[in-house]
């Protein structure tokens, strides 16, 4: 039985949307968890019933939390990007859809601008202001979200439509 790849595509612009969605979710959840864990850690450090070992463990975990979330964030973006590029290179395509893909890339870039602005407003709110500085990789990518998505989208276009030129 032949599989219909037209409705089961991987390596296309839905992958970019997945990368964008996953990045926003990781950023929001990571920052909110860090703030919540900071409040919990403050309570743990002030509690006289908790021993010094428990306080040290809690403080150590709180200090390392931003680097863990940063690492997960970069791993997800780079990993999903590489998988998408490989899948885009492997899948059959028709170059007649190049213009539709470019139009979709423009739509995705507009969404990237909206997500980037949302991030800027989110981290500028009074409860969160300054917290983003604890997440340097997330902060860099999200402040350059449009450029990041443009690079991902352009590499997908090249991988998806440039393979026919490469193969002769």
For residue 10, pLDDT beyond 60: no
pTM for this predicted structure: 0.81
Give residue-wise pLDDT tens across range 18-73: 888 889 999 999 999 999 999 999 999 999 999 999 999 999 999 999 999 999 99
Q: What mean pLDDT do residues 131-142 have? A: 93
CA 89 from centre of chain = 22
Question: Domain-by-domain residue ranges, the chain?
Answer: 13-161
Task: Report residue 20 CA to chain centroid gap.
Answer: 6
pLDDT of residue 9: 52
Please tell me which residue, 59 or 8, carries the higher pLDDT value: 59
Confidence at residue 2, expressed as pLDDT on a 0 to 100 scale: 47
At 16 the pLDDT is 83
Give the model confidence (pLDDT) of 71-128 as tens digits: 999 999 999 899 888 888 887 777 777 788 888 889 999 999 999 999 999 999 888 8
pLDDT of amino acid 166: 55
CA angle, 35 as apex, 33 and 36 as ends, to 5°? 60
Question: Does 165 score more than 70 pLDDT?
Answer: no
Asked if residues 64 and 29 have their Cβ atoms less than 8 Å apart, the reply is: no
3-state DSSP percent of the chain in helix, strand and coil, to 5: 80, 0, 20
Q: Is the pLDDT of residue 5 over 90?
A: no
The token pair at 168 is 């002769």
């Amino acid at each position: 039985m032949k599989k219909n790849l037209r409705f089961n595509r991987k390596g296309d612009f839905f992958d970019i949307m997945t990368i964008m969605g996953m990045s926003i979710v990781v950023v929001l959840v990571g920052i909110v968890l860090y703030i919540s864990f900071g409040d919990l850690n403050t309570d743990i450090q002030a509690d006289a019933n908790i021993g010094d070992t428990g306080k040290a463990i809690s403080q150590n975990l709180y200090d390392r939390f931003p680097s863990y979330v940063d690492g997960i964030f970069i791993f997800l973006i780079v990993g999903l990007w590489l998988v998408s590029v490989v899948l885009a290179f492997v899948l059959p395509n028709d170059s007649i859809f190049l213009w539709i893909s470019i139009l979709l890339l423009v739509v995705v870039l507009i969404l990237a601008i909206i997500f980037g602005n949302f991030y800027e407003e989110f981290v500028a709110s009074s409860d969160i202001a300054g917290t983003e500085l604890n997440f340097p990789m997330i902060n860099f990518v999200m402040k350059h979200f449009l450029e990041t998505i443009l690079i991902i989208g352009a590499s997908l276009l090249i991988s998806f439509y440039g393979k026919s030129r490469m193969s002769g």
